[in-house]
Structures are given as C-alpha cells and as structure tokens.
Amino acid sequence: MSCNSRRFAVLMLLLSVSLTGCGLVPLPGTGKWHSLASEQPQEEPSGEFIEAVNNGSGADPEGAQAASTFYDQPWFEAVDFINEPPMIHGGVWYYTQAKHPNNLDDDFIWDEMDVLYIQLGDNRYRGYDAKPVALELINNQVARVTLHLEKKDDTFSSDQPEPARTYIKVNKGTLKGKSFLVMDESGRKLKTR
C-alpha cells in the first residue's frame, strides 16, 4: 500500500468516526475517554408496549400520538369591510375577476385575487361572526376552511340577526375548481345549505 493510499485510508477512517461518532467522550482534566455505553441502563419497555408494537396496534401506554397529516395551506386574508346584505340562502361562492357580483367591483383587486364567500345555512349561527382561521388544500379537488364562530354583540340591533358569513381573499386561481368543506375549530362540519 502506498503512502498516499494509507493517508487516504486514515483520513477516511477519521472522517467516518467524526461523522458517526464513536460513543466516547473525554473526561475533563483526566486525558481519558468515557464510553457512553456504560451510562445508567435505560428502563426496558414494558411487555404491554412491546406486545402492542409487535401486533401492529400502535397503542402506547404512555399516550403518545401519531403525527398529524399536513396539508398545503395557501395564503388567505379575511375581509371585514364588505357591507353587503346576506344571500337568500347559505352556501359557498367562489368569485373571480370574470365572475363576481357587480356590487363588489371596487372592493377587490380582481386581476390579483379571487374571493371566497361563505354563508352558513344553519339558523343556530344567526347573529354570529365567522372568522376564517385556516385554509387547507386537502387534495386536488377539496379545500377545507376552518371558521372561528363567535356570538356578535347585537345590543343595539333591532333587526333579525344575520347569518354567519365571511369573505376570504386568496391568490388568483388558488381555489379554482375546488369543492369546499367548511368546519368549526373543533372539527365539526358546518352546514352551508
């Protein structure tokens, strides 16, 4: 073996030990090394846990949870300033530059954004504010909107309370062709029709 080959081999060995670790740590002031393997032994998993893992149930006696599924979350912004009367019935409407009510012409920059209008159809939520807290793209066909519902202070109102509703600005084309699942913060599906 040539001198260069030995140097290369030694350098590779040092590199692999430094990257993977050798399980040794220096003892301060002694010039000696201490093996991490000789630390206090960890408690063995209980038979119940091992059985749960082996039978595939995934149950954990300590209450560990599996990771939640992540969905793409596009930019959105709630719109509070629209002073338009509610629709006759609940539903979800997706407004674009080409297709939106004329009375909204001046309220949005239509060449940059689209607008989602959600009005709940459940009479229990008349007199509530609906604030969007999350917008998630579940797949290519479905978007999920999560709303925070809060009872309005209608102390000075003499009219019948309006249905819960909200306008949501999104980047142009973000929700094109999607169906919508509308939920509250607890995960309960909200009726829009």
Angstrom distance (rounded) from CA 142 to CA 183? 13
Residue 111, token pair as written in the block: 């060449």
Range of the structural domain that residue 123 is part of: 76-184
Angstrom distance (rounded) from CA 12 to CA 21? 14
Let me know whether 26 and 116 are in one domain.
no
Count the neighbouring beta carbons within 10 Å of the beta carbon of residue 41: 7
CA angle 148–67–138, rounded 5-degree value: 55
Let me know whether 82 and 151 are in one domain.
yes
Let me know whether 90 and 150 are in one domain.
yes
Residue 41 is predicted with a pLDDT of: 45
Let me know whether 88 and 19 are in one domain.
no
Let me know whether 23 and 105 are in one domain.
no
pLDDT digits (tens, 9 = 90+) for 138-175: 999 999 999 999 998 865 666 789 999 999 999 999 99
Let me know whether 38 and 103 are in one domain.
no
pLDDT digits (tens, 9 = 90+) for 76-115: 999 987 788 899 999 999 999 999 998 898 889 999 999 9
Would the pLDDT of 55 be above 60? no
Element holding 19 (H helix, E strand) = helix 3-20
Instruction: List the beta bridge partners of residue 128.
Output: 151
Residue 62, token pair as written in the block: 């300590």
Residue 84, token pair as written in the block: 């338009």
| Residue 17 buriedness (CB in 10 A; 0-12 / 13-18 / 19+) | exposed
Tell whether 62 is covered by a domain.
Answer: no
Tell whether 193 is covered by a domain.
Answer: no
**Mean pLDDT of the region 25-41:** 53
Give the Å distances, CA to CA, from 37 to 24, 25, 34, 46. Answer: 8, 11, 9, 21
Selected residue with higher pLDDT from 127 and 54: 127
Mean pLDDT of the chain: 81
Let me know whether 43 and 99 are in one domain.
no
Residue 66 is predicted with a pLDDT of: 87
Phi, psi of 96 (to 5 degrees): -125, 175
Let me know whether 160 and 81 are in one domain.
yes
Selected residue with higher pLDDT from 37 and 1: 1
pTM of the model: 0.65
Selected residue with higher pLDDT from 35 and 121: 121
Which segment of 32-46, 58-72, 81-95 scores lowest on mean pLDDT?
32-46
Q: Output Rg (C-alpha) for the chain, integer angstroms.
A: 30
Let me know whether 85 and 119 are in one domain.
yes
Residue 92 is predicted with a pLDDT of: 97
Residue 149, token pair as written in the block: 């519902």
Q: How many domains is the chain built from? A: 2
Selected residue with higher pLDDT from 24 and 141: 141
78 neighbors 166 (Cβ within 8 angstroms)? yes
Nearest Cα neighbor of 76 from 175, 193, 177 is 175
Residue 42 is predicted with a pLDDT of: 45
